[in-house]
Amino acid sequence: MPARILDGKLFAAAVQRRAADAAAAFAAHTGRAPCLAVVLVGDNPASRSYVTAKGRACTACGIEPRQLDLPADASKDAILAVVRGLNADGAVDGILVQLPLPEPAWEEEVIEAIDPAKDVDGFHPVNAGRLLLGLPALTPCTPVGIVHLLAAAGIPTAGVHAVVIGRSRIVGRPLSVLLSQRGVDATTTLCHTKTRDLAAFTREADIVVVAAGRPHTLRAGMIKEGATVIDVGVNRVPDQSRPKGYRLVGDADYDELLGTAGAITPVPGGVGPLTIAELMANTVEAARRRAGC
């Protein structure tokens, strides 16, 4: 039987509707809309299109978007000054610095400069630590979106074996923590580039999440019959038949896995829309906590 296609847009729409309702309730209570400030440094086209999509989602949810553009040659001090200004601005509830920065070595310091209460990406060490300890935290949007997707799709997680491929700080590692948390209760294995015999792990898994950033990481023969495949990867591969000269593919060989997987997310249209929807939810949550409502 062909796999069930997990339509991320559908699940994201439900998350976004709830965020919009919560934003409306917040506005009724406080007299102002929640506000998300997005800092974009430079003009990387992919980053700009992500920022535009986030602004659009804000407007759709009744969240005030604020975009701050800095030139590609902005100094680290200039970026930090903008972040500190947003920290001090009482009308700003969420702050997001679009990554990568033109100078990736500054990312750590810039993220640490964000007020953890406004860190809607959930990347600040305070939020990462709270997540690890199982305390209330602003949680990275892609991992939390995946956990919510599994729940909304009725895919059991308690006691199942989940294999996560990729140990990045924004996807793989926080996801492995979330999946093993009480209430989600998966037995979790985190694989990475030094994992010996990746297929030996993925073939044992009930759920495989692939977040490696490399096409063909998960191929035919690497999963067991009926497994759920969540493909986080977004890779541009050259394709002259497309108007832009490229197409987007995930990290999993979608067509090859369709016959074996029980359920699978497509790329695009799988995990991507969930990430933005969860960002909206985090922004309203940050606003509510700050306002104590």
Binding residues vs ligand NAD (CB under 6 A): 142, 165-168, 170-172, 191-193, 195, 198, 211-214, 217, 232-235, 271-272, 275
The residue among 263, 267, 270 whose CA lies nearest residue 253 is 267
Distance (Å, rounded) from C-alpha 169 to C-alpha 35?
Answer: 25
Q: How far is the CB of 147 from ligand NAD (least distance, A)?
A: 14
What does each C-alpha distance from 118 to 100, 129, 148, 151 come to in angstroms? 19, 16, 22, 27
Nearer to ligand NAD (CB atom), residue 3 or residue 232: 232
Q: How far is the CB of 170 from ligand NAD (least distance, A)?
A: 5
Nearer to ligand NAD (CB atom), residue 82 or residue 249: 249
Among residues 93, 115, 119, 121, the one annotated as catalytic is 121
For residue 57, the SS3 value is helix
Nearer to ligand NAD (CB atom), residue 34 or residue 270: 270
Q: How far is the CB of 291 from ligand NAD (least distance, A)?
A: 28
Residue 77 is a catalytic residue: no
DSSP assigned state of 285 = H
Residue 54 is a catalytic residue: yes
Which residues lie below 8 Å from residue 242, measured CB to CB, with a gap of 6+? none
Q: How many residues does the chain have?
A: 293
Nearer to ligand NAD (CB atom), residue 22 or residue 165: 165
Q: How far is the CB of 105 from ligand NAD (least distance, A)?
A: 15
Beta strand 246-249 pairing with 235-238: antiparallel
Distance (Å, rounded) from C-alpha 249 to C-alpha 231?
Answer: 10
User: Could you tell me which residues are beta bridge partners of residue 41?
Assistant: 70
Nearer to ligand NAD (CB atom), residue 182 or residue 244: 244
Nearer to ligand NAD (CB atom), residue 64 or residue 278: 278
Give the tokens for residue 230. Answer: 């969540």
A 10 A CB-CB count for 192 gives: 14
Residue 121 is a catalytic residue: yes
| Contact between residue 142 and residue 271 where contact means Cβ atoms under 8 Å apart | yes
Among residues 16, 93, 98, 119, the one annotated as catalytic is 98
Q: How far is the CB of 55 from ligand NAD (least distance, A)?
A: 16
Q: How far is the CB of 269 from ligand NAD (least distance, A)?
A: 10
Scored b (16 or more CB within 10 A) or e, 92-113 reads bbbbbbbbebbbeebbeebbeb
What does each C-alpha distance from 113 to 36, 82, 99, 124, 126 come to in angstroms? 16, 10, 15, 8, 11
Catalytic residues: 54, 98, 121
